Amino acid sequence: MNYKDKYGSYALITGASSGIGKEFAKQLAQKGLNLVLVARRKERLETLKQEIQTDNKVEIHTIGIDLLSDNFLETIRAVTDNLEIGSLVNNAGVMYIGNYLDCPLEKDLQMIDLNIKVPAILTHHFVPKMVERKKGGLIFTASLLGFMGTPYATTYAGTKAHEIVKGEGLAYELKPHNIDVLTLNPGLTETEMTADNDFSGMPMKLMKPDVVAKTAIDALGKKVLVSPGFMNNMLNWMSKRIMSRKMNTNMFGKLMKKTF
């Protein structure tokens, strides 16, 4: 599949300076897409830009912006208004693991804003233009934890549940406009988000971010939901077919309590 023909010439990726977002950038460039990379750490984006352009003849714009700032969309628009953003990867997110009441309210609200509000703003801005062009691709990075109530990651799991349900609905609505929508639901992945916790007691190993990104890129246009990794898929299948919601919550409560 020719990604540029199918989706348009540019992909915009949030949270592109590390982890899964960085891998999205590298692998979409290999597909021939030009990139707009968005993250707080401008210097990391510039380093990534140079790395990608060493091996790929693509145009890359970097935007160093805190997506929790009030004017973030205006900053992005200043770069993108004259570009054909055919793919939007809503990847930026933040996670807190620990007792719910130990998480300050400000941080809890920031998690909601970054994981839900920011993707909503970007989707409302870029997708109407995809509708006009009758083509586009939209990826939401959610989480396996979004399929169940998850103790000690309560707000994070709730925000990802929101993205899962929204993605499923949008996939149906946007299909007549030739726009593919995918919600990526990784399990635990080796990123900065998981670096401060001990997941050795989990039944699966942390996945590599390049494998997670590739799974999403390969699934776009073929699936609506995708969970990378055999064990993650097995766990997801068991949670839907065998275990009740209460059983899932109890199991993950016991597992997550061991991580902090």
Give the residue numbers marked as catalytic: 156, 160
Task: Give 62's strand partners.
Answer: 37
Instruction: Note the maximum CA span of the chain.
Output: 51
φ/ψ region of 229 (left if φ > 0, alpha if ψ in -120 to 50, else beta) reads left
Pairwise CA distance, residues 105 & 107, whole Å:
5
Residues 100/102/107/108 CA torsion (nearest 10 deg)? 20
Residues 71/121/90/114 CA torsion (nearest 10 deg)? 60
Nearest CA to 31 among 49, 12, 5, 50? Answer: 5
Task: Provide the token pair at 70.
Answer: 């009030």
Pairwise CA distance, residues 45 & 31, whole Å:
19
Detail the DSSP E strand segments found in 99-189. 136-141, 179-184
| Percent helix, percent strand, percent coil in the chain, to nearest 5 | 55, 15, 30
